[in-house]
Amino acid sequence: MRATDVDSGEINEWAKERIAKHRLPLPKRPKGSSPEFDFPDDPSSLSNAALGQQMLRFAAFFGYAQRRFGIVEARYVLVDAEYTTKINVAGIEIRESEVLGKRPSAEVVEAAVLRDNKELAPLYRRRLQLLTLRVRLDSLIKIYERLYAALSRELSRRELESHIQ
């Protein structure tokens, strides 16, 4: 078998099976259908119970987003490896021909391969899709983490004030 014959989908399934054997619980998608939420302008206006509920909600979304990020990251690693291998293999001929000069940059070789090899377009598109998902999920993870931290600070402030009084 050649490296270019490796099936990333098959490797992804293998990895899923290996993880499933460990029987680690995975967070479900939190309840709620609205794609947006209101964060209170003044968390001190929330009761302790409401504050705790908000914290649990952000913790749930943080866990779920982290789970999705891991899935996307695993898929991206496989697609990127397949893409890189195919670009490099197709680029050998271009480098040897010296059509692009004696030492073309990797980006120039990649662009030439993509221009000449239409079979790589779906893989290139999938790679870009996964990169975009990675960036968006990473952003959401940071949002949930920071909102949880802000609510946690408010809860800690209240507890400290209760001990002082």
List the pLDDT tens digit at each of the 165 positions of the chain: 666 666 777 887 888 888 777 777 777 777 876 667 777 788 778 888 888 888 888 899 899 999 999 999 999 999 999 999 999 988 888 787 777 777 888 888 888 889 888 999 999 999 999 999 999 999 999 999 998 998 888 888 888 888 887
Task: Answer yes or no: is 61 within a domain.
Answer: yes
Domain span at residue 86 reads 44-164
Flag whether 8 is in a domain: no
Is 97 a member of any domain? yes
Q: Is residue 151 a contact partner of residue 54, using CB atoms and an 8 Å limit?
A: yes
Domains of the chain: total: 1
> Alpha-carbon distance 66 to 132, whole Å?
15
- Do the domain assignments include residue 15? no
| Residue 20 domain-assigned (yes or no) | no
CA torsion angle 12 18 24 28 (round to 10) = 20
Residue 79 lies in a domain: yes
Q: What is the pTM of this model?
A: 0.76
Residue 134 falls inside a structural domain: yes
The reply to whether 22 falls in a domain is: no
